[in-house]
């Protein structure tokens, strides 16, 4: 990413590295995650169709595409939750943190215990778990008064912050986010973007995020990967623009430009000009 520009660049300046080269070079040397020829069926339905995909250490990628095109299935393959029918997964990332559309907090555990869930599984002592969970809760801007509350006592936005803290508790070098903020209002969503970006910049971790929201993708990702049905990659776009420079004007304009790309329109089954 270019971090040296002082003025926000024009949207057109940022959409520079075009799809064809990136699509050809789908699994470059040095990638921390390499998927080669991944195909999968549920029964007779082909869900993933020979996907080659890679992520570099420190890279943020947004996976976009129409509902049902196989994005979550691909993420499950990456997370090791699903063994594909065909293809090879090579993952050099050491620690995965996952967050899903629903916070999926344990209702019988209070905030800090929910955050510390992954740490307990790793054998971290009770005191160390509490300490780490409290530090993350503070980072997520939860108040000390909330630490012993149960999920039903939290607002949706607070539950999302707890779920994000839980994903970060394992100190991930790859963060997998499946439509994590889609249920939040625009203000809370912006707040979560700020928290995620802050963490990624501090820790230099990689992020793969599924989203239906092209503006969210443009705001957070270094690379946008467009999938179409049945699960295949049809367009890849690199965004060479520092995060700090992605103001609202740039985000709107860049998302608008992407929505004019023919492969993206076809993927979403929008009308294309003849
Ligand atoms: N466990 C399953 N068993 C059978 N079919 C499944 C299963 N999981 C997903 N599918 C089907 O696979 C296809 C892809 O689903 P997937 O959830 O990966 O899509 P998606 O792109 O993430 O969709 P959305 O954006 O709506 O979340 C869909 O047709 C879905 O019905």
Q: Measured in angstroms, how far is the CA atom of residue 21 from the centroid of ligand 1?
A: 29
Separation between Cα atoms, residue 153 and residue 156, nearest integer Å: 10
Span 98-155, pLDDT tens digits: 988 788 899 999 999 999 988 878 888 999 999 999 999 998 889 999 999 999 999 9
Separation between Cα atoms, residue 27 and residue 184, nearest integer Å: 34
The mean pLDDT of the chain is 86
Q: Measured in angstroms, how far is the CA atom of residue 44 from the centroid of ligand 1?
A: 13
Nearest CA, atom 5, ligand 1: 42
Give the residue, out of 49, 63, 73, with the most ligand 1 atoms within 8 A of its beta carbon, to mutate for a pocket test: 73
pTM attached to this predicted model: 0.86
Nearest CA, atom 30, ligand 1: 68
Q: Which two tokens stand for residue 191?
A: 């707040």
Q: Measured in angstroms, how far is the CA atom of residue 226 from the centroid of ligand 1?
A: 16
For range 76-98, the mean pLDDT: 93
Q: Measured in angstroms, how far is the CA atom of residue 89 from the centroid of ligand 1?
A: 20
SS3 4: coil
Span 220-251, pLDDT tens digits: 999 999 999 999 999 999 998 888 889 999 99
Residue list, ligand 1 pocket, CB within 6 Å: 42, 45, 47, 65, 67-73
**227 CA closest ligand 1 atom index:** 21
Q: Measured in angstroms, how far is the CA atom of residue 71 from the centroid of ligand 1?
A: 8
* Lowest-confidence region among 27-31, 83-87, 239-243: 27-31
Which residues, in sequence order, are bridge partners of residue 207? 60, 175
Nearest CA, atom 26, ligand 1: 67
Q: Which two tokens stand for residue 164?
A: 């994000």
SS3 66: coil
Separation between Cα atoms, residue 222 and residue 224, nearest integer Å: 7
ipTM of the complex, rounded to two decimals: 0.97
Q: Measured in angstroms, how far is the CA atom of residue 251 from the centroid of ligand 1?
A: 29
C-alpha distance from residue 108 to each of 42, 159, 213, 243 (Å): 34, 14, 33, 38
């Amino acid at each position: 990413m270019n971090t040296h520009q002082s003025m926000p660049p024009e949207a057109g300046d940022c959409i520079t590295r075009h799809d064809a080269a990136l699509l050809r070079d789908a699994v470059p040397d040095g990638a921390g995650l390499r998927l080669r020829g991944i195909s999968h069926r549920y029964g007779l339905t082909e869900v993933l169709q020979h996907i080659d995909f890679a992520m570099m250490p420190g890279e943020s990628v947004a996976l976009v595409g129409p509902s049902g095109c196989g994005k979550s299935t691909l993420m499950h393959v990456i997370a090791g939750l699903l063994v594909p029918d065909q293809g090879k997964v090579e993952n050099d990332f050491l620690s995965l943190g996952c967050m899903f559309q629903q916070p999926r907090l344990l209702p019988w555990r209070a905030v800090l215990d929910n955050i510390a869930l992954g740490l307990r599984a790793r054998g971290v002592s009770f005191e160390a778990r509490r300490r780490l969970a409290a530090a993350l809760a503070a980072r997520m801007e939860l108040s000390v008064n909330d630490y012993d509350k149960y999920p039903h006592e939290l607002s949706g936005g607070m539950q999302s912050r707890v779920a994000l803290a839980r994903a970060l508790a394992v100190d991930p070098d790859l963060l997998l986010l499946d439509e994590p903020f889609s249920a939040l209002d625009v203000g809370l969503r912006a707040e979560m973007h700020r928290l995620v970006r802050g963490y990624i910049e501090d820790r230099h971790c990689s992020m793969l995020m599924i989203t239906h929201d092209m503006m969210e993708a443009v705001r957070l990702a270094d690379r946008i990967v467009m999938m179409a049905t049945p699960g295949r990659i049809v367009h890849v776009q690199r965004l060479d623009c520092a995060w700090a420079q992605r103001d609202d004007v740039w985000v709107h304009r860049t998302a608008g430009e992407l929505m004019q790309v023919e492969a993206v329109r076809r993927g979403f089954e929008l009308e294309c000009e003849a």
